[in-house]
Amino acid sequence: MKILITGANGFIGKNLTAELHTSNENTLYEYDTDTEKMSLETYCRDCDFVYHLAGVNRPKNDEDYMQVNYGFTLTLLQTLQKFNNTCPVLFSSSIHASLDNPYGRSKKAGEELLSEYSKSKEVPVFIYRLPNLFGRWSRPNYNSVIATFCHNIARDLPIHIDDKAFMLNLVYIEDLIKEFVAALTGHGHKGEGDFYTIPLIYNASLGDIADLLYSFRTADRVLRFPKETFENKLYSTYLSYTQDAR
């Protein structure tokens, strides 16, 4: 299968491409900000499935939210239409799409554009509103608070918490990738309309997360937790930030 991945160099994109590269049956078209722009036409002409992961969540100007999160989505769909390519499109939206702020409005606009495209062209669309993500290759001070905590604690740097009781809804990157691969094969978890859901979401407070990470740092041996637990996944994430901290 020929698969187009926009935002291929981002946090989700890197993990997804690593997983899809394990299959010799897939040809991956990796598109990101440094990709030759004309490549998008070739990729949209030939692909059988699109993972649309490209987007911004911390631009310099608020106008960039709409320009990228909506504008590039429009460009992508127009390019697919140019070649009459009606392949499925999976879109990584955000829980912030329900909020009235520049980022949320841009993601909401992207969702609406895809839903309209799905109806008018009879194209399968998979929209995922993602909560907070954590796992390897997440950028500290950009992608997630857990990435920042892991990076700082592994280097004996301070962390800042305004409210230790603040609760986060969290998805481990490997669980997300499993769901995205399931969608590729027609086994994603269907929600309402064009929306799909992630079956495994954890809830934890900032204070509890920080306490766990500090306990990992001071442990004098390799810790072992049951595999499918939040503690194990958080520990695996923490370890990925210690490799270059020495």
Active site residues: 103
CA distance 112 to 89: 13
Please give the DSSP secondary-structure letter assigned to residue 122: T
Please check whether residue 91 is in contact with residue 47, taking contact to mean a CB–CB distance below 8 angstroms. Answer: no
Strand ranges for 46-156 from DSSP E = 49-52, 89-94, 125-130, 132-134
Report which secondary-structure segment, H or E, holds 195.
strand 195-197
Please check whether residue 172 is in contact with residue 135, taking contact to mean a CB–CB distance below 8 angstroms. Answer: yes
Residue with tokens 């409005």: 105
| Residue 219: exposure state from Cβ atoms within 10 A (0-12, 13-18, ≥19) | exposed
| Residue 76: exposure state from Cβ atoms within 10 A (0-12, 13-18, ≥19) | buried
